[in-house]
Each structure stands twice: as structure tokens, then as C-alpha cells.
């Protein structure tokens, strides 16, 4: 039996929540672009969707209880926690519209999924025509906080052509909004052992041609004690898909695990396990991260109050967004895991540390992402791959450099040295530091 089945998870989550309690329209591309509001300003929506800020999202925040007061409370607290995008998933049209109405007044962006009208899930395909897509776009076009449409969640290979057709219709008739799809992880129906997983990724990307390359991988699942990120198949998926994103020059987004996959299992997640996934993903060059899920991680599923981790995660979200926005327009150039075997370096699609022209030595069990832009400066994001032990030591450089450190909490930059070959690091479990090297 597969360890991963998102629909079963969703159904279980819904049952727990409940137990506790036309005619053809004018295509939108023929009319003026919609107006959107952001940060108290009124802005024209671009004719083609482009990413302008780091996206911190959640796959599942709104349940199916159908209570507007509770939904407002959830969305207000989700925004307070620092998330700037909410995916309304596995809900019916009435609840999607309720959430969009509240999001309008609360000022939080929405990705809308409607499995009955315009969204697919794995092998579950909606019945659609060009007219029905246009009608749905027209019906939703007034929502200024609608960032895009959740077109298909984890399409299987037999459904890729349908997903492409639906995706293309949204891009044609509402190009100002994101048409969003997401890939399966390698512990679903397509796996590395028989090479069906890289084939799936290649097929998915060439068929759908998504604007954003997004995938999920939950390394802990239900495992409380034995999971390690020193070696983990997460890095195989991540390395391969990162390479595809770089080749296509498209944003890379990643769903990280914030809760136990089954709500029947007492949570195995803590701040350190969440933090290491988020910072590691940033070192890989992601432009967007999504909680799986804010439901239970940030918001209690019964009381709808903030969880005990809320304030710690809020502070972490601030750090993640500050780093993400600092790196948003920088290019991921090199990626290293220090101390890995030659075999794992190849399996994880990593660069060879010994060939670096910038770095000389570094402690083991680090993930180091090297970023650049049109200038000569390089940015290093250094992540402690251990979520149970702190990491101290020194990273040495090949030659004397000016080194500054980026403050994750404030976004300020502090000069460490005008000329040095050594950077002292002191990282808590799962922690990270960002350095600018000139």
C-alpha cells in the first residue's frame, strides 16, 4: 500500500473537522486587465502572470465546516503568521466563494481549486469545455485577491494531456493569473528504482509546460525517530527537479511537511524539523514554499485558536520571507552538501565542493547554496542539515573577500570583515545563515 494518498488524507481531515462540530461569456483576454489591491494600493494586473514576491503558502487552511466567522478567523490568523497565499483545496464551490469573499476584505491572496468545475486531482478529472472554463473565469474575475487557479493536483501520466488542455485554457483566457499544477513525489506511483520517476517528471514538464515548477515531498511522514536528512531520497527529487527548473528558467516551489501526514497520529513535527526543510529549500533556490499544512501546524483544528508553535513559526516565516525576497531575483549557481559520499553527491545532483572557485573548506552536514546576479558578489545560504544538533565551525574561502551577513529577522546587512578567508558559523538545529561575499 502506498505511503502517500492525498485524497485519503483530505477525507480523514474533513471527517475529523465535521466530527467536532449559462451562457458563454466574453473571454477575459478581450477586456481590460483586472485591478488588484495590494499593500493599500490599487494596481493594474499584469497581462501575463509573473512572480513578484516570494510566496509563502499553505495547501490546506479552510475546512468544510461552512462557517464564515471561523473562516475569517482562520484567514486573519494565517495572514498574521506571515503567509501571503492560501490554497483553497478539496472544497465545494460554495465554500470556495465564501473564502474568496473573506480574502477580499482581509487582503490575502488565494489559489482556488474546484474539483467539480475546473480542477483535477491525480486521476480524478473534471468535465470541462472551453465555454465552461471561460464561464468559471468570468464568474471569479471580480475577486481581486484571486492569484490563480489550482488546475491539477498531482496528475498521473494518463491525465497529463487533460491537465495540459485545462492549463492552456486558463493561460489563454486569463493569462494575468497563475494556472497552477503540482507534481507527485517519488514515493507515489512513479519511483526511482525502475526509472519511472524521472520519466514522469520529464513527461509532466514537457506536456504541461507549467509557469511554476512545483512538487511535494514529506520526508518524515509518520516517523518519529529514525528519519535523517543527512541522507534522504528527498534530495534526489529536489536535485533533479531543481535542475529542470534552472534549465527552463522557471520558478521552483516546494511543499514541505509541517504536520504528521495522518491526523490520527500525534504530531511528530517540531520547529526544528519544519525549519530545516524551509531553509534547505531556500538553499536550493525555491521562490515559493507551501505548508502541508497550516491546519494543525498554525491553527488548532478544533478550537481554531493559534497552536503552541504559532509564534515560533510566525518568526520563522518572517526569516524565510526575508531570505526568499532577498534571493528572489538571484540565480542559484551552485549547490553543495558537505560531507556526503561521492555516490550520494551524484544521486542528489549536487555540485562537487572540491571544484569550487570560492569555497575551500566547510564543516560536514551543511547544505550550501551559492547565488549570483549580474554583479560580481556571491551570496551563500548555509543550512544545518541536522534538526537535532547545533553546528559550529568555520567556512574558509579560496582568497580574501569582503564578507557581510544578512539578518534574517530584520533584513539588514552587517559587515563582518573587509578582508577575510574565514567565516565562523554557529547554527542551531535546522538553522541557517546568509552571507554576501564580495
In tens digits, what is the pLDDT along the chain, a chain of 438 residues? 333 445 444 444 443 333 333 222 333 333 334 434 343 344 457 799 999 999 999 999 999 999 999 999 999 999 999 999 999 999 999 999 999 999 999 999 999 999 988 999 999 999 999 999 999 999 999 999 999 999 999 999 999 999 999 999 999 999 999 999 999 999 999 999 999 999 999 999 999 999 999 999 999 998 878 899 999 999 999 999 999 999 999 999 999 999 998 887 777 899 999 999 999 999 999 999 999 999 999 999 999 999 999 999 999 999 999 999 999 999 999 999 999 999 999 999 999 999 999 999 999 999 999 999 999 999 999 999 999 999 999 999 999 999 999 999 999 999 999 999 999 999 999 999 999 999
Long-range contacts of 242-248 (CB under 8 A, 24+ apart): 242/284, 242/285, 242/332, 242/335, 242/349, 243/349, 244/201, 244/202, 244/205, 244/213, 245/213, 245/285, 246/285, 246/332, 248/205, 248/213
Q: Where in the chain is the domain with CATH 2.60.40.1180?
A: 331-437
Please write down the long-range contacts of 342-348, taking CB distance under 8 Å and 24 or more positions apart: 344/231, 344/235, 347/235, 347/236, 347/239, 348/235, 348/236, 348/238, 348/239
CA 160 to chain centre: 21
* Domain 331-437 superfamily per CATH: Golgi alpha-mannosidase II (2.60.40.1180)
- Contact yes or no for 136/170 (Cβ under 8 A): no
Q: What is the pLDDT of residues 156-189, one digit of tens each?
A: 999 999 999 999 999 999 999 999 999 999 999 9
pTM score, two decimals? 0.91
Q: Where in the chain is the domain with CATH 3.20.20.80?
A: 6-327
CATH topology of domain 6-327: TIM Barrel (3.20.20)
Amino acid at each position: 500500500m502506498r505511503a502517500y494518498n492525498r485524497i485519503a488524507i483530505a477525507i480523514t481531515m474533513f471527517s475529523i473537522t465535521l466530527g467536532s462540530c449559462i451562457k458563454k461569456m466574453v473571454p477575459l483576454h478581450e477586456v481590460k486587465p483586472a485591478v488588484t489591491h495590494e499593500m493599500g494600493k490599487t494596481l493594474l494586473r499584469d497581462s501575463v502572470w509573473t512572480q513578484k514576491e516570494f510566496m509563502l503558502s499553505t495547501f490546506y487552511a479552510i475546512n468544510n465546516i461552512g462557517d464564515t466567522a471561523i473562516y475569517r478567523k482562520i484567514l486573519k490568523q494565517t495572514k498574521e503568521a506571515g503567509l501571503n497565499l492560501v490554497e483553497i483545496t478539496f472544497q465545494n464551490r460554495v465554500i470556495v466563494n465564501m473564502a474568496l469573499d473573506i480574502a477580499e476584505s482581509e487582503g490575502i491572496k488565494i489559489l482556488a481549486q474546484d474539483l467539480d468545475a475546473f480542477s483535477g486531482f491525480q486521476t480524478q478529472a473534471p468535465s470541462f469545455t472551453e465555454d465552461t472554463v471561460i464561464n468559471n473565469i468570468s464568474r471569479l474575475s471580480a475577486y481581486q485577491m484571486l492569484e490563480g487557479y489550482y488546475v491539477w493536483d498531482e496528475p498521473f501520466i494518463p491525465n497529463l494531456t487533460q491537465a495540459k488542455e485545462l492549463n492552456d485554457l486558463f493561460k489563454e483566457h486569463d493569462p494575468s493569473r497563475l494556472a497552477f499544477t503540482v507534481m507527485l513525489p517519488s514515493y507515489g506511483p512513479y519511483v526511482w528504482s525502475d526509472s519511472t520517476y524521472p520519466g514522469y517528471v520529464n513527461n509532466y514538464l514537457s506536456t504541461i509546460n507549467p509557469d511554476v515548477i512545483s512538487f511535494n515531498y514529506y520526508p518524515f511522514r509518520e516517523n518519529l525517530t529514525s528519519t535523517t536528512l543527512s541522507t534522504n531520497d528527498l534530495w534526489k527529487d529536489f536535485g533533479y527537479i531543481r535542475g529542470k527548473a534552472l534549465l527552463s528558467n522557471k520558478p521552483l516551489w516546494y511543499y514541505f511537511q509541517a504536520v504528521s501526514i495522518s491526523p490520527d497520529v500525534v504530531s511528530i513535527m517540531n520547529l526544528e524539523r519544519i525549519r530545516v526543510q524551509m531553509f534547505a529549500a531556500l538553499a536550493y533556490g525555491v521562490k515559493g514554499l507551501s505548508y502541508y499544512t497550516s491546519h494543525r501546524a498554525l491553527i488548532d483544528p478544533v478550537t481554531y485558536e493559534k497552536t503552541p508553535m504559532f509564534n515560533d513559526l510566525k518568526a520563522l516565516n518572517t526569516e524565510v520571507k526575508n531570505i526568499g525576497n532577498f534571493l528572489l531575483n538571484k540565480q542559484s549557481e551552485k549547490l553543495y552538501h558537505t560531507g556526503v559520499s561521492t555516490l550520494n553527491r551524484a544521486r542528489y545532483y549536487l555540485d562537487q565542493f572540491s571544484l569550487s572557485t570560492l569555497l575551500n573548506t566547510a564543516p560536514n552536514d551543511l547544505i550550501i547554496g551559492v547565488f549570483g546576479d549580474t554583479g560580481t558578489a556571491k551570496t551563500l545560504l548555509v543550512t544545518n542539515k541536522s534538526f537535532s544538533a547545533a553546528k559550529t565551525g568555520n567556512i574558509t574561502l579560496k582568497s580574501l573577500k569582503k564578507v557581510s551577513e544578512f539578518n534574517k529577522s530584520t533584513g539588514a546587512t552587517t559587515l563582518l570583515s573587509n578582508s577575510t578567508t574565514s567565516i565562523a558559523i554557529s547554527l542551531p538545529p535546522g538553522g541557517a545563515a546568509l552571507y554576501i561575499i564580495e
